[in-house]
């Protein structure tokens, strides 16, 4: 279902060494009461990551990798509502990439510079989709305009 357009608010933050990226983003969103947040861009590096790979299904969720080495963040995309849905692509020291659904454990190595957008007139929620077996995005008009 499509929903109309929206004004855009932009937020920026930088996380330093040792911070956990995923939980820090979720805290940022919660503290500011963002209702329809999404990643515009992110650059930085991590020393750890836990990702669910593409072969996972609702019945087979154990397609998970735990990575522990230095990686450049070459892409981070997704929505940051209460049940965030983020995908990341990481490049190792040889430039080889791995990517997947972010489960957490993204420990910042040197920095993570993140620009977050918020669709100011919308609200993102998630509802279980019987076809996919996962809670999927539902976009609706925002009811509590600031």
- Residue 74's pLDDT is what? 97
- pLDDT (0 to 100) of residue 60: 67
In a domain, 105, yes or no: yes
pLDDT of residue 28: 97
Q: Provide the domain limits for residue 27.
A: 8-141
Q: Please tell me the total count of domains within the chain.
A: 1
Tokens, residue 133: 């077996």
Return per-residue pLDDT of the chain as tens, 146 residues.
556 689 999 999 999 999 999 999 999 999 999 999 999 999 999 999 999 988 766 666 678 999 999 999 999 999 998 889 999 999 999 999 999 999 999 999 999 999 999 999 999 999 999 988 888 999 999 887 65
For residue 5, what pLDDT is reported?
83
Q: Specify the pLDDT at position 90.
A: 98
Angle at 135 between CA 104 and CA 143, to 5 degrees: 100
Q: Is this model's pTM higher than 0.85 or not? A: yes
Which CATH number do you get for residue 130? 3.30.1330.80
Is the residue at 64 inside a domain?
Answer: yes
Show the tokens assigned to 146.
């600031």
User: Does residue 108 lie in a domain region?
Assistant: yes
Residue 87 forms part of a structural domain? yes
Please check whether residue 2 lies inside any domain of the structure.
Answer: no
CB neighbours of 91 closer than 8 A, spacing ≥ 6? Answer: 71, 72, 74, 97
Please state, in angstroms and as integers, the Cα–Cα distance from residue 125 to each residue in 20, 52, 79, following that order: 24, 21, 10
Q: Is residue 24 part of a domain?
A: yes
């Amino acid at each position: 279902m499509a929903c109309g357009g929206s004004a855009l608010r932009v937020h920026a933050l930088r996380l330093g060494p040792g911070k956990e990226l995923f939980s820090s983003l979720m805290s940022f969103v919660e503290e500011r009461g963002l209702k329809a947040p999404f990643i515009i861009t992110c650059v930085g590096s991590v020393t750890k990551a836990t990702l669910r790979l593409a072969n996972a299904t609702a019945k087979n969720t154990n397609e998970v990798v735990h990575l522990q080495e230095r990686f450049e963040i070459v892409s981070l995309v997704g929505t940051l509502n209460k049940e965030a849905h983020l995908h990341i692509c990481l490049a190792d020291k040889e430039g080889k990439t791995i990517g997947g659904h972010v489960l957490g454990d993204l420990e910042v190595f040197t920095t993570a510079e993140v620009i977050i957008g918020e669709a100011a007139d919308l609200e993102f929620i998630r509802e279980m989709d019987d076809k996919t077996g996962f809670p999927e995005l539902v976009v609706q008009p925002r009811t509590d305009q600031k």
